[in-house]
Amino acid sequence: MYGVLRSELPNIVILASGNGSNFQVLAEKSLNGELQARVKALIVDKPCGAIERANKLGIDSIVLSKPWYENFEHLIEDINPDLIVLAGFMRIIPENLTQKYFLKIVNIHPSLLPSFPGKDAIKQAYEYGVKVTGITIHFVDAGIDTGPIIFQKSLEVKEDWDLETLERNIHMLEHDFYWRVVNDLLYKPYKIQGRKVVWGV
Ligand code: GRF
């Protein structure tokens, strides 16, 4: 059973590699108190747009030095966050770390897994011609986008949508739901039964 009652705010770190729009929403929701957690740091593997967003919000950002996964492990040991939130972090986390931190690392993916894992998922789904796609929030295991699913939300692809419209709608869903699911993971009990994440005691 995971998820606990707390007397003080839990800490999270957010990892990103790019634009950082999901990071920004998580950070803003934390700053305004809707996400009841403290964002201890933005961690990136290279200079990217997310850093500028962190600067504007007064959140520390850390650029991982090489080899990034050793630096990552040291940082996590140091900060000891309650949850490690991946938000567009474009690195595969080595198996020893996904095992060590299993159920502590959460990721968001812009498709309904197991369809369209990996890079460019929105484009993959669009070009495949799916009528329904969506987002998946899952725990991170050693595979690529294969960990136990925590949350999914579907979205109907309208016939007159171009790729940009689909991308915009997917990001809106992500921004709507990621912080809520992170909050739930920090406060609501859940169990893992095989691959299933089951809410409740
Ligand atoms: C999101 O679509 C997320 O699902 C995927 O990477 C993208 C990151 O976007 N893992 P942003 O950097 O948060 O804008």
pLDDT tens digit sequence for 68-86: 999 999 999 999 999 999 9
Residue 54 counted as domain residue: yes
Residue 49 tokens, joined:
């747009």
Residue 159 counted as domain residue: no
Residue 1 counted as domain residue: no
Instruction: Name every residue whose Cβ is closer than 8 Å to that of residue 7 and which is 6 or more positions away in sequence.
Output: none
Q: Of these residues, 109, 138, 171, 175, which one is catalytic?
A: 109
18 close to ligand 1 (CB < 6 Angstrom): yes
Q: Domain with 48 in it: what CATH number?
A: 3.40.50.170
Summary mean pLDDT of the chain: 96
Structural domains counted in the chain: 1
| Domain of residue 18, residue span | 11-118+133-154+170-199
Residue 161 counted as domain residue: no
7 pLDDT exceeds 90? no
Residue 109 counted as domain residue: yes
Q: Whose CA is nearest to atom 14 of ligand 1?
A: 21
Residue 137 counted as domain residue: yes
20 close to ligand 1 (CB < 6 Angstrom): yes
What is the distance in A from the centroid of ligand 1 to the CA of 86? 9
Residue 127 counted as domain residue: no
What is the distance in A from the centroid of ligand 1 to the CA of 22? 6
Q: What are 12-62's pLDDT values in tens digits?
A: 999 999 999 999 999 999 999 999 999 999 999 999 999 999 999 999 999
Q: What is the pLDDT of residue 2?
A: 54
How far out from the chain centre does Cα 35 lie? 14
What is the distance in A from the centroid of ligand 1 to the CA of 166? 14
Q: What is the pLDDT of residue 66?
A: 87
At 118, which amino acid appears? G
Report if pTM > 0.85.
Answer: yes
87 close to ligand 1 (CB < 6 Angstrom): yes
What is the distance in A from the centroid of ligand 1 to the CA of 162? 19
| Catalytic residue status for 109 | yes
Instruction: Name every residue whose Cβ is closer than 8 Å to that of residue 21 and which is 6 or more positions away in sequence.
Output: 53, 171, 174, 175
